């Protein structure tokens, strides 16, 4: 009998939570924490179109042909997460494709992060988004980051602040940047 009471209370609490909208966000959709991650649309709320960038007008190495803009998106760098991740207003969290910098607590972390702060923070960022894989498993946009025409991914490698990290599929060959 005691087990039945506990079960009944549990069911009532869950029902109240569901009916009160506890599991819903302000838009009436399931919270991301309990939503099916396979149905998450990472293209939602990003400041670039959902065009299929895998088209024949692309050149093999530099991105777009002269008839297209070289960049897929642009925005203001509002925050530097670490040496290979930034937040860009209107676009979202950006992961520098093809490179990997040291993590917090590892040698070189501060130098890589400081370099990205110097190069990107508070500036207009231009992005060439990876046509073969737009997002990583954390939902970050995979892109080559440009500031004033300079390929910042490549600069990280040239300054030995990062290592090449090629994860196929990718339109970019980071080995060509070294």
Q: Catalytic residues, which ones?
A: 95, 103, 140
d(CA 29, CA 44) in angstroms, rounded, equals 14
Closest alpha carbon to 106 in 137, 138, 82, 130: 82
Which structure tokens are listed for 175?
Answer: 């080995």
In contact, 97 and 175? CB cutoff 8 Å? no
Closest alpha carbon to 93 in 127, 131, 54, 133: 127
């Amino acid at each position: 009998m005691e087990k039945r009471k506990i079960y009944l209370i549990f069911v009532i609490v869950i029902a109240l939570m569901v009916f009160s909208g506890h599991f819903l966000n302000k838009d009436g959709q399931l919270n991301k924490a309990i939503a099916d991650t396979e149905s998450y649309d990472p293209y939602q709320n990003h400041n670039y179109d959902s065009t299929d960038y895998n088209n024949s007008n692309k050149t093999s190495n530099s991105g777009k042909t002269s008839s297209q803009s070289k960049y897929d998106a642009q925005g203001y760098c509002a925050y530097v997460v670490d040496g290979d991740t930034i937040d860009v207003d209107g676009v979202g969290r950006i992961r520098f494709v093809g490179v990997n910098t040291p993590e917090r607590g590892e040698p070189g972390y501060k130098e890589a992060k400081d370099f990205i702060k110097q190069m990107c923070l508070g500036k207009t960022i231009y992005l060439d988004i990876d046509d073969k894989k737009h997002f990583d498993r954390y939902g970050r946009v995979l892109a080559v980051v440009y500031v004033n025409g300079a390929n910042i991914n490549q600069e990280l490698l040239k300054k030995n602040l990062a290592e090449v990290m090629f994860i196929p599929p990718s339109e970019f060959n980071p080995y060509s940047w070294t």
